[in-house]
Amino acid sequence: MSKTWYPVINKEKCTECLICVNHCKHGAYEERDGKPYVINPENCVHGCHGCGNKCPVGAIEYVGDTTDWIPPNGKKDNISDCGCGGGYCCG
């Protein structure tokens, strides 16, 4: 089964702050040469918007997202429960 939910970085918007890399506790990201990469999309928790909520420039969107979530700056944090139980990746 192919992965149906994972983050995609808009390189035009990304400022390479690496907040997303440091935020995700599921190992979806890796920093290489100071840039963020989604190296393990299969690790992303379905429904989680954690890194997208943290990205200061709204550069992260999600494959498979049919919700009305809007990436910040337009801060929308009411859809954030990925159900991973960790309590740290989704805020």
Residue placing its CB nearer to ligand SF4 in the complex, 1 or 90 = 90
Q: Which of 8, 16, 70, 80 binds ligand SF4 (CB under 6 A)?
A: 16
Q: Considering the rule CB under 6 A, would residue 18 count as an interface residue with ligand SF4?
A: yes
SS3 state of residue 36:
strand
What is the number of alpha carbons within 13 Å of residue 38 lying toward its C-beta? 19
What residue type is 62 in one-letter code? Y
Q: In this structure, is the dihedral angle defined by the CA atoms of residues 66, 67, 68 and 71, taken in order, positive or negative? A: negative
Q: Considering the rule CB under 6 A, would residue 71 count as an interface residue with ligand SF4?
A: no
Residues that bind ligand SF4 (CB under 6 A): 7, 9, 14-20, 23-24, 26, 28, 36, 44-45, 48-51, 55, 57, 59-60, 82, 89
